[in-house]
Structure 1
Amino acid sequence: RITIKSVDLELPIVKGTTNENLLIGAATMRPDQKMGEGNYPLAGHHLKQKNLLFGPLENIKTGAQIVITDFKKDYIYSVTSKDIISETDADVVEETNKKEITLITCDKAVKTEGRLVVKGELVDSFGHTN
């Protein structure tokens, strides 16, 4: 699950960027990605109803907290940047040594070549106690 309280976003994280997955939640973009390690890229749809899926990202601010969890451990990221890039700039999903998260959606709720990219760096992680 991904939670961003500051923009009221809470979605399941689903494996793979199929059309079905993109209509459910935040989709992983690489088969090898691991929470809390390297770059963790997630894609989501930006629909006309602004509060759905990744639509709220257009209101995110630098310093906002992004929490992802596998329900064993929570990984807390702090937003470091928010940019509009071209849909062809695929290097944002590549693996990095830096522990970061990359959230990608369309920059508008229409057919567009622009992509909104939000990056955050890992600031903390902790396990769940039963």
Structure 2
Amino acid sequence: MRRLVSAFIIALLVLAGSGLILYPTIASWKSQWDQSKVVDSYANLVDHVEPDRREQVQEARQYNDLLASGAVVGSNEHVPHGSGVVDLESNPDVLPYDQQLKAGEAGIMGRIRIPSIDVDLPIYHGTSEETLLKGAGHLEGTSLPVGGDSTRTVITAHRGLPEATLFNNLDQVKEGDTFTLEVFGEVLTYRVFFTQVVEPQDSQAVLVEPGRDLATLITCTPLGVNSHRILVTGERIIPTPAADVDSAGQVSELPRFPWWLPISIAVLLLIAVYLGREIVLYRREARVANR
């Protein structure tokens, strides 16, 4: 009996250890699965918004024209905070920020894809903790992601969460890589030309540059320390590459094959075989002892 009890304890320890090792990968896969379902539904949502998507994009461009842009990346915080404002009292026809580019009740603004690091995420309004647990967030106070001269949109996401990948690999994006923003039927492709690590209070790094159409991606660095911010900036490619236009609205290719699934099955089978063997040996020894 002692041997059988020991076998069950060993099996439980192996099962618990395997679960601890595989949990981040499984949780991240599930998170990407959920995010991909959201982005897959996005194209259908924007086809049925009121007012229609073209009008919403035009309103967003008007909003950008009125925007005084700037942002502060707060010390010891995961995300920056926008300080750009639009004077709504002087411009009563302009919708407030949280009503701009709003697809459905969930408030999805768009979709960001970074092929070089397998990122495909929904973009939401703002950078609250609740928002960034669901996907990427647009930094209020920076240009809405509809392009145009003298604009810089800023998209931010978490890094280092045990249950989601998000912008974990943003530091691996290289100059020359591209990323795309899909926003209400518009496809904007940006080519990375500059990557920098900045101090938390460096707000100059995300200001608009006259005449340029820019997008900056932000996350924390170093991983797990969060003392600085890594900024990856791209300039828009005009015209948008045909391949990116053709892929707009397509079903996400992520998450990829769950390699953890066969490993989990193999571990369970090994545990079952081990326990089965121990049970057979225990019963055999019990029969011998009873003779």
TM-score scaled to structure 2, two decimals?
0.41
Secondary structure, in 3 states, of the residue corresponding to 1:76? strand
User: What residue is the counterpart of 2:166 in the other structure?
Assistant: 53
CA shift for structure 1 position 125: 5.2
In 2, are the aligned partners of 1:77 and 1:101 still within 8 Å (CA)? yes
In 2, are the aligned partners of 1:3 and 1:67 still within 8 Å (CA)? yes
1:1-130 map, 5 Å: 1-31=111-141, 33-34=143-144, 35-37=146-148, 38-49=151-162, 52-97=165-210, 98-124=212-238
Higher relative contact order (CA 8 A, sep 6+): 1
Secondary structure, in 3 states, of the residue corresponding to 2:170? helix
Moved more, 70-79 or 28-37: 28-37
In 2, are the aligned partners of 1:12 and 1:25 still within 8 Å (CA)? yes
Deviations 1:49-92 (A, max 9, x none): 59711112111111001100114110000000111111111222
41 and 13 in structure 1: CA distance in 2 versus 1, 3 angstrom threshold: same
User: What is the alpha-carbon distance in structure 1 between the residues aligned to residue 163 and residue 197 of structure 2?
Assistant: 17
51 and 22 in structure 1: CA distance in 2 versus 1, 3 angstrom threshold: closer
How many aligned positions are there? 129
Letter paired with 1:123: I
Structure 1 stretches (4+) deviating beyond 4 angstroms? 48-51, 125-129
Secondary structure, in 3 states, of the residue corresponding to 1:58? helix
125 and 20 in structure 1: CA distance in 2 versus 1, 3 angstrom threshold: farther
User: What residue is the counterpart of 2:95 in the other structure?
Assistant: none
User: What is the alpha-carbon distance in structure 2 between the residues aligned to residue 73 and residue 125 of structure 1?
Assistant: 12
Q: Which has the higher helix share?
A: 2
User: What is the alpha-carbon distance in structure 2 between the residues aligned to residue 69 and residue 100 of structure 1?
Assistant: 15
What are structure 2's unaligned runs of at least 5 residues?
A: 1-110, 249-291
User: What is the alpha-carbon distance in structure 2 between the residues aligned to residue 108 and residue 19 of structure 1?
Assistant: 19
RMSD of the alignment, in Å?
2.3
In 1, are the aligned partners of 2:178 and 2:190 still within 8 Å (CA)? yes
Moved more, 70-79 or 92-101: 92-101
In 2, are the aligned partners of 1:45 and 1:53 still within 8 Å (CA)? yes
CA shift for structure 1 position 112: 2.2
User: What is the alpha-carbon distance in structure 2 between the residues aligned to residue 44 and residue 92 of structure 1?
Assistant: 17
Structure possessing the higher radius of gyration over alpha carbons: 2
User: Percent identity at matched positions?
Assistant: 28
